[in-house]
Amino acid sequence: MIINVARKELKSMFASPMGWVILSLLMFAFGTYYLNGVNDYFAVMSGAMRPAERTGVTQFVGQNVYGFASFLVLFAVPLLSMRLISEERRNQTLPFLFSAPISLTEIVLGKFLGLVIFLSILVVFIGLMLSTLNIWADIDFGFIIANSIGLTLMIASFSALGLYFSSMTQQPVVAAILTFIALFALMFLDRFFAGDPSNTLASLSLTRHFQSFSGGLIDTADIAYFGLFIATFLTLTVRRLDADRLRG
């Protein structure tokens, strides 16, 4: 049943040009970064004389692309997540889902999954794009896999938060703005505490937990952080929708 809701969401994302446009623009941006990364690699490495200064091509280009990707989804996710619930609320289509034999949890999970699957297309494409380096060089697939997992988790966290804000309002634009502000604050929280990295608030920052993945390290602590983050906002969304049913 979760899958059926997710399929519906995917279908509606591809039914409007919005989904295609966002996907293609993002891929264009990533492609440009990839090209620049490869060009820069030769420029930088030809100047690096000592072996210690040299880094692998995967890491050099990969960090370039994945770093940019984690920043760009900050704009892409609010645009896509805003309509998930708020638009249904505005068009009064929620009763369609509420009166079907599916639970609220299934509805929320389905919508969440739909968005994550949609955005995972980007993660897959980035991975494929970087893998093409293997034609000329011997690349580090572990690095790409770690980064892909990190990026997917980050996208999923963004989506969960976006879904929650979308459930709070009838206006998609309001949801997008709120999501963007919240994500922006969470992304750059560690910058505010740059002088005191051990601060508890700083460790709430999403960027900090993405950092280990971007270095090629899969850390269970970070996976747990993203997992909890997603679970929290999905639970809040279910509760918000349940309040609709109770308060009317």
Angstrom CA distances, 201 to 164, 180, 191, 206, stand at 21, 19, 11, 11
Task: For residue 81, count other CB atoms closer than 10 A to its CB.
Answer: 28
101 binds other proteins per the rule CB under 8 A = yes
| Window 11 to 40, contacts with other proteins (CB under 8 A) | 11-12, 15-16
The two structure tokens encoding residue 248: 């009317």
Choosing from 32, 93, 131, 132, the residue that interacts with other proteins (CB under 8 A) is 93
Tell me whether residue 47 or residue 101 sits nearer to other proteins (CB atom).
101
Please name the amino acid found at residue 12.
S
Give the binding range for other proteins (CB under 8 A) out of 2-10, 23-31, 44-52, 209-217: 2-10
Tell me if 245 contacts other proteins by CB under 8 A: yes
Q: For residues 24-39, b (16+ Cβ closer than 10 Å) or e, as one string? A: eebeeebeebbeebbe
Can you tell me which of 29, 94, 177, 182 binds other proteins, judged by CB under 8 A? 94
> CB-based contacts of 182: which residues, under 8 Å, 6+ apart?
161, 165
Instruction: Check residue 79 for interaction with other proteins (CB under 8 A).
Output: no
The residue to which tokens 């602590």 are assigned? 221
Q: Does 103 bind other proteins (CB under 8 A)?
A: yes
Query: Smallest distance, Å, CB 209 to other proteins?
Result: 36
Query: Residue 248, interface with other proteins (CB under 8 A)?
Result: yes
Give the number of residues in contact with other proteins, rule: CB under 8 A: 25
220 binds other proteins (CB under 8 A): no
Q: How far is the CB of 7 from other proteins (least distance, A)?
A: 8
Given the complex with other proteins, which of 44 and 100 has the nearer CB atom? 100
Q: Which two tokens stand for residue 33?
A: 């970064």
Gap between the Cα atoms of 17 and 183, Å rounded? 25
Asked if 208 touches other proteins (CB under 8 A), the answer is no
* 5 contributes a contact to other proteins by CB under 8 A: yes
- Calpha distance 44→55 (Å, rounded): 10
CA-based torsion, 88, 177, 155, 244: positive or negative = negative
Q: Does 195 bind other proteins (CB under 8 A)?
A: no
Binding residues (CB under 8 A) for other proteins: these are 1, 4-5, 7-8, 11-12, 15-16, 91-103, 245-246, 248
